[in-house]
């Protein structure tokens, strides 16, 4: 007014400073400041700045997921969406999103930004960020404009979702699929405002593929496999609704008839862009065929106690597992929750004064039936546990999902077990909720499946006395001591002052049958032989055992000659050996009479360094006294002839296998039974980890039981989809770690290789090449090598029942094949492989790297056939030592003409003068007419499988020449 002179009676006033508004105006008139950021930071790189926002949409997706999490990379605009049943699950999904970007795109994250809700106020999330050096930014309450990037992304997703669902008239309960499809499309569209070709290209550097995107809700006709068709006349395709794509080659479909969500190969689908079929009715509260989940019965912690258990976690676990997603452990969810909030029992963390709580199932309740169950409720159930209910044994439950916590790397220096203790304390216990989808059917459950590891094999006597089978272990100990007394293994004595007194301990083992059922409880008193002194209480310790190749050779002869077999086990075999020098041992734990006396051992005892040797000497002495002749080719093979009938004995420690005519087998069995306590095991069915099947057409050997065990051990590391070859032809044997990081735990790699190797050397020659190649990296395995190893396990999973068939009508004389892959390894070394066949089945094979560098392919092949000659000579020695007729010379097949010429002639030139003398042994075999070398085409050379990775057709062709087939096919052919 003063400036423009708009009033008559206004006196001039001087203002030394700019006038400030009064308190009343500040309190009542001011508005919020604009949200434009005046101090902009430099543009981040892809992956440096991640934004998260939780949103809610009703009705819930499939009636289960009312919430969602939008995750966005600020620089590249890359978006991912996650469906949530509870808001506190946002923490787990946020960490997964970060881990995905880190592992797939090698980005470095610096800033996490989220709203001040469940995610922004979580102490666990703050600790995760602090441990990994991230900056956690949160806005102020009720200020969504501060998270403009994520809010704008959610709005865009919602708009696209509404359009998709409106066009195809989809029920509102399917919004989760539409929003995921919208996020996938956003990631491949250009961002003009940021001059970005596409978010996916910006973060990965690779242009995306878009041909697999189809209109949401459009009709799809997908191909049905033969096993899924109701009859040969049924249609070959089913109608479905397109829901989106998991990858350019895999699409998600909603089957109209069944209402199930399936994943199918994109190329096997026929799309109709302009056809929108009617949607099936929305499944009730949870997915089809699942039904609501019963309240979980937890173990009796006190006499009777009321425990709150929420079924929401049940529903979430089941949905995630049915979708084949990584399961979210309820303990993990609780571990990552805000510790400032009161702990809720529906998150499965129960604090008590007990030391361990395991998951139990009511034995009177069927977990396989899902029909007669109460309706789903989100409210907690109050369950009263009567004190008179004895919980049934169940699989042990891990405290929480350790694999996930290890992958998130909460700190780079803290061990996971230490992190558990720091987070939960020393006495924390957990009660995991029942996962009904993992329950085994009653028909396939064995007694061994119900045993925890500590109950099955207690590590010491204290554990055995605390286990549920205490009485069984006490009886087993008494039986062991009784056997020792009856055999006069020891006597009580006071040890001389200069005597070396060794200790003793109990070893517990539950013996299993071939089908995995419990056979008996065994307690073995073992001497602590590591305290023995050489030259005082022991000298020589070597004790031979039967070669696996000899065992397979005897089985092949049995098939050809239609012999019988039998097997026995020597009870407490080591107790029969006589000690030359006395050994003093303390009385066993739990059975010390307190007199100060010790055991003076007169006979062998398990654990003594010389126990195996003195037992072997005892058995050999007895067999020779009964007229059995020991083979010079294999010291563990004996034979006896009576007229035209024969019997052969093969010894593997305390297991003795008989091959030959039935009358001679019975006589040999009685000869051994007269001197030792034996258990008759009948015809050979299972020994040294090999299962033996007797059929009219021959003998089939396999290791299905062992293979299933190792597959179960490593199943969490691979996806069990079928694969036709162990290693791809593109596999490189050079041990390079430039493209992938080293494995954090090389021991795991060695364990997996060792388990695979045991199968490869006994019944699975098709695995030999993969084991040989992958063993090269044992010292420093990388994650890439681990992936190749798990690929081999996938092949093994698809061929777990494969083995070797020895046919009654097969070849009666051994013959062999040798091959080499020249200069295939680093350092210019080659791969050798050979195969020996009898009765149309493999009896010996080898795949190994050359110890030296061959200078030509001829030299490599020459080394290979020389190794085969040595192996064939060992079988010739067996034929000779056991007085079995064989047609000479034996035929060896080679696909290199220069090598054949080298074997048949004493060539000495500048190209062969350097070859080690040991490899010229093959020439002596040829000159003495014991073997002959014959040419074979490379395409027909089965030993090629043992030298390098092959393609599917060649691998399958050569594998069949090994006599390998599946046990299922053998049974079918034998029944025809």
- CATH number at 722 reads 3.30.420.10
Residue range of the domain that includes 822: 700-974
Alpha-carbon distance of 433 to 669, in angstroms, equals 54
Our count of domains for the chain comes to: 4
Which candidate, 823, 906, 825, 816, places its Cα nearest to that of 858? 823
3-class DSSP assignment, residue 176:
helix
pLDDT of 722-765, one tens digit each?
A: 889 999 988 877 655 566 788 888 899 999 999 999 999 999 99
CB crowding 276-299: b at 16 or more within 10 Å, else e: bbebbebbebbbbebbbbbbbbbb
- pLDDT in the model for residue 522: 87
98 with 150, same domain: the answer is yes
Which of 204, 228, 255 is the C-terminal boundary of a domain? 204
Question: Please, are residues 487 and 603 in contact by the beta-carbon 8 Å criterion?
Answer: yes
Helix, strand, coil distribution of the chain in percent, nearest 5: 35, 20, 45
- Any domain includes 32: no
CB neighbours of 846 closer than 8 A, spacing ≥ 6? 768, 832, 833, 834, 867, 871, 946
pLDDT of 55-110, one tens digit each?
A: 888 888 888 888 888 888 888 888 999 888 887 788 788 888 888 888 788 788 88
- 758: phi then psi, degrees, rounded to nearest 5: -65, -35
- pLDDT in the model for residue 35: 52
pLDDT of 461-492, one tens digit each?
A: 888 888 888 888 888 998 888 888 887 888 88
537 with 625, same domain: the answer is yes
Rounded alpha-carbon distances, angstroms, from residue 437 to 229, 286, 330, 433, 441? 25, 14, 16, 12, 10
Question: Please, are residues 828 and 892 in contact by the beta-carbon 8 Å criterion?
Answer: no
Both tokens of 7, joined, read 């009033």
Alpha-carbon distance of 735 to 743, in angstroms, equals 13
H/E element, 416:
helix 416-424
740 with 605, same domain: the answer is no
Distance in angstroms between the alpha carbons of the first and the last residue of the chain: 113
pLDDT of 572-581, one tens digit each?
A: 888 888 998 8
Q: Is 750 left (phi over 0), alpha (psi -120 to 50) or beta?
A: alpha
More confident residue, 880 or 113: 880
3-class DSSP assignment, residue 598:
strand
Both tokens of 51, joined, read 């934004």
Question: Please, are residues 297 and 392 in contact by the beta-carbon 8 Å criterion?
Answer: no
774 with 895, same domain: the answer is yes
Both tokens of 604, joined, read 């062998």
- Other beta carbons within 10 Å of 352: 13
User: Residue 59: is the preceding peptide bond cis (ω within 30°)?
Assistant: yes
Which of 688, 713, 739 is the C-terminal boundary of a domain? 688
The CATH number assigned to the domain holding 224 equals: 2.30.30.140
- Any domain includes 190: yes
600 with 728, same domain: the answer is no
Q: What is the 3-state secondary structure (H, E, C) of 632-670?
A: CCCCCEEEEEECCEEEEEEEECCEEEEEECHHHHHHHHH
The DSSP call for residue 50 is E
- Any domain includes 804: yes
Which candidate, 346, 347, 286, 295, places its Cα nearest to that of 322? 286
Confidence of residue 550 (pLDDT cuts 50, 70, 90): very high
- Any domain includes 592: yes
Which candidate, 319, 324, 262, 269, places its Cα nearest to that of 290? 319
162 with 54, same domain: the answer is yes
**Parallel/antiparallel/unpaired status of strands 815-821 and 802-807:** unpaired
Q: Is 828 left (phi over 0), alpha (psi -120 to 50) or beta?
A: left
- Any domain includes 543: yes
pLDDT at 415 over 70: no
- Any domain includes 301: no
Confidence of residue 24 (pLDDT cuts 50, 70, 90): low
What length does the chain have? 976
- pLDDT in the model for residue 8: 62
- pLDDT in the model for residue 746: 87
- Any domain includes 13: no
592 with 624, same domain: the answer is yes
Average pLDDT, the chain: 78
Average pLDDT over residues 226-241: 81
- pLDDT in the model for residue 357: 32
Which candidate, 889, 937, 697, 647, places its Cα nearest to that of 810? 697
602 with 519, same domain: the answer is yes
Confidence of residue 919 (pLDDT cuts 50, 70, 90): confident
The number of helices, as runs of H, and strands, as runs of E, in the chain is 25, 36
Alpha-carbon distance of 443 to 973, in angstroms, equals 27
186 with 242, same domain: the answer is no
CB neighbours of 32 closer than 8 A, spacing ≥ 6? none
State the Cα angle at 394 between 388 and 397, rounded to 5°. 115
pLDDT of 930-939, one tens digit each?
A: 999 999 999 9
- pLDDT in the model for residue 143: 61
71 with 191, same domain: the answer is yes
Both tokens of 493, joined, read 């004595």
682 with 709, same domain: the answer is no
666 with 732, same domain: the answer is no
User: Residue 889: is the preceding peptide bond cis (ω within 30°)?
Assistant: yes
Q: Annotate 112-129 with DSSP letters as a single string.
A: EEE-TTTTTT-HHHHHHH
- Any domain includes 610: yes
Which of 272, 289, 304 is the C-terminal boundary of a domain? 272
């Amino acid at each position: 007014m003063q400036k423009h002179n708009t009033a008559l009676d206004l006196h001039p006033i001087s203002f030394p400073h700019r006038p400030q508004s009064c308190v009343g105006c500040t309190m009542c008139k001011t508005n919020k400041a604009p949200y434009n950021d005046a101090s902009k930071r430099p543009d981040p790189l892809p992956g440096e700045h991640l934004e998260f926002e939780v949103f809610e949409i009703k009705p819930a997706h499939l009636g289960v997921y009312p919430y969602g999490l939008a995750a966005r990379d600020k620089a590249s605009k890359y978006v991912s969406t996650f469906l949530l049943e509870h808001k506190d699950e946002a923490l787990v999904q946020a960490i997964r999103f970060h881990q995905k970007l880190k592992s797939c795109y090698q980005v470095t994250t610096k800033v996490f930004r989220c709203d001040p809700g469940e995610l922004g106020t979580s102490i666990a999330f703050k600790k995760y960020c602090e441990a990994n050096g991230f900056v956690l930014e949160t806005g102020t309450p009720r200020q969504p404009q501060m998270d403009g990037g994520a809010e704008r992304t959610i709005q865009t997703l919602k708009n696209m979702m509404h359009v998709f669902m409106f066009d195809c008239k989809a029920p509102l309960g399917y919004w989760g699929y539409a929003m995921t499809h919208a996020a996938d499309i956003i990631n491949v569209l250009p961002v003009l405002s940021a001059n970005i070709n596409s978010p996916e290209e910006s973060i990965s550097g690779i242009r995306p593929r878009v041909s697999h995107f189809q209109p949401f809700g459009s009709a799809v006709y997908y191909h049905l496999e033969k096993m899924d068709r109701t009859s040969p006349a049924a249609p070959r395709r089913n109608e479905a609704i397109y829901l989106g794509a998991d990858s350019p080659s895999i699409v998600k479909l909603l089957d109209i008839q069944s209402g199930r969500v399936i994943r199918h190969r994109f190329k096997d689908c026929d799309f109709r862009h302009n056809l929108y079929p009617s949607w099936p009715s929305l499944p009730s509260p949870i997915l089809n065929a699942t039904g609501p989940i019963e309240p979980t019965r937890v173990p009796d912690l006190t006499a009777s106690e009321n425990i709150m258990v929420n079924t929401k976690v049940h529903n979430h676990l089941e949905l995630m597992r049915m979708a084949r997603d990584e399961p979210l452990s309820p303990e993990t969810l609780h571990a990552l929750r805000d510790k400032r909030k009161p702990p809720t029992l529906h998150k499965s963390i129960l604090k008590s004064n007990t030391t361990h709580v395991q998951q139990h199932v009511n034995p009177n309740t069927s977990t396989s039936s899902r029909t007669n169950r109460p309706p789903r409720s989100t409210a907690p159930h109050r369950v009263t546990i009567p004190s008179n209910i004895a919980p049934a044994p169940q699989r042990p439950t891990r405290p929480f999902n350790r694999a996930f916590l290890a992958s998130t790397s909460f700190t780079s220096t803290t061990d996971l077990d230490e992190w558990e203790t720091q987070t939960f304390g020393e006495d924390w216990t957990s009660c995991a909720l029942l996962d009904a989808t993992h329950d085994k059917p009653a028909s396939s459950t064995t007694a061994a499946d119900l045993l925890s590891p500590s109950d099955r094999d207690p590590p010491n006597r204290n554990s055995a006395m605390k286990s549920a089978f205490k009485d069984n272990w006490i009886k087993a100990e008494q039986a062991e001591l009784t056997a020792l007394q009856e055999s006069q293994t020891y006597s009580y004595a006071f040890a001389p002052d200069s005597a070396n007194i060794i200790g003793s301990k109990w070893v517990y083992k539950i013996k299993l049958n071939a089908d995995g059922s419990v056979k008996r409880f065994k307690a073995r008193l073992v001497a602590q032989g590591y305290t023995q002194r050489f030259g005082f209480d022991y000298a020589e310790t070597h004790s031979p055992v039967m070669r696996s190749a000899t065992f397979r050779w005897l089985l092949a002869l049995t098939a050809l000659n239609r012999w019988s077999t039998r097997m026995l086990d020597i009870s407490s075999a080591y107790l029969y050996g006589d000690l030359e020098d006395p050994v003093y041992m303390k009385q066993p734990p739990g059975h010390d009479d307190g007199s100060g006396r010790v055991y003076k051992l007169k006979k062998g005892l398990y654990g003594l360094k010389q126990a195996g040797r003195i037992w072997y000497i005892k058995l050999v002495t007895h067999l020779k006294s009964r007229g059995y002749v020991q083979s010079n080719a294999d010291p563990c093979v004996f034979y006896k002839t009576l007229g035209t009938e024969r019997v052969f004995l093969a010894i593997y420690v305390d297991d003795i296998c008989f091959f030959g005519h039935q009358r001679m087998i019975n006589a040999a069995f009685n000869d051994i039974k007269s001197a030792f306590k034996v258990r008759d095991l009948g015809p050979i069915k299972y020994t040294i980890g090999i299962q033996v099947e007797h059929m009219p057409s021959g003998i089939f050997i396999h290791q299905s039981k062992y293979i299933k065990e190792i597959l179960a051990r490593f199943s969490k590391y691979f996806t069990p989809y079928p694969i036709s070859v162990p290693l791809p032809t593109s596999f490189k044997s050079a041990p390079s770690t430039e493209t992938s990081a080293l494995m954090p735990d090389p021991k795991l790699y060695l364990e997996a290789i060792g388990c695979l190797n045991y199968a490869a050397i006994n019944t699975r020659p098709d695995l030999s090449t993969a084991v040989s190649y992958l063993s090269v990296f044992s010292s420093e395995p990388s994650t890439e090598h681990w992936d190749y190893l798990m690929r081999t396990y996938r092949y093994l999973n698809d061929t777990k029942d494969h083995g070797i068939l020895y046919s009654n009508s097969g070849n009666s004389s051994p013959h062999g094949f040798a091959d080499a892959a020249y200069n295939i390894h680093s350092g210019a070394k080659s791969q050798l492989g050979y195969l020996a066949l009898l009765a149309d089945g493999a009896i010996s094979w080898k795949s190994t790297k050359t110890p030296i560098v061959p200078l030509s392919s001829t030299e490599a092949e020459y080394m290979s056939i020389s190794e085969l000659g040595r192996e064939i000579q060992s079988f010739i020695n067996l034929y000779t030592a056991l007085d079995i007729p064989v047609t000479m010379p034996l035929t060896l097949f080679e696909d290199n003409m220069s090598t054949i010429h080298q074997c048949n002639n004493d060539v000495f030139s500048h190209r062969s003068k350097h070859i080690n003398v040991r490899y010229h042994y093959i020439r002596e075999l040829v000159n003495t007419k014991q073997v002959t070398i014959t040419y074979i085409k490379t395409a027909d050379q089965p030993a090629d499988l043992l030298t390098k990775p092959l393609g599917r057709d060649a691998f399958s062709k050569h594998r069949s020449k090994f006599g390998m087939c599946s046990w299922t096919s053998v049974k079918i052919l034998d029944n025809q």
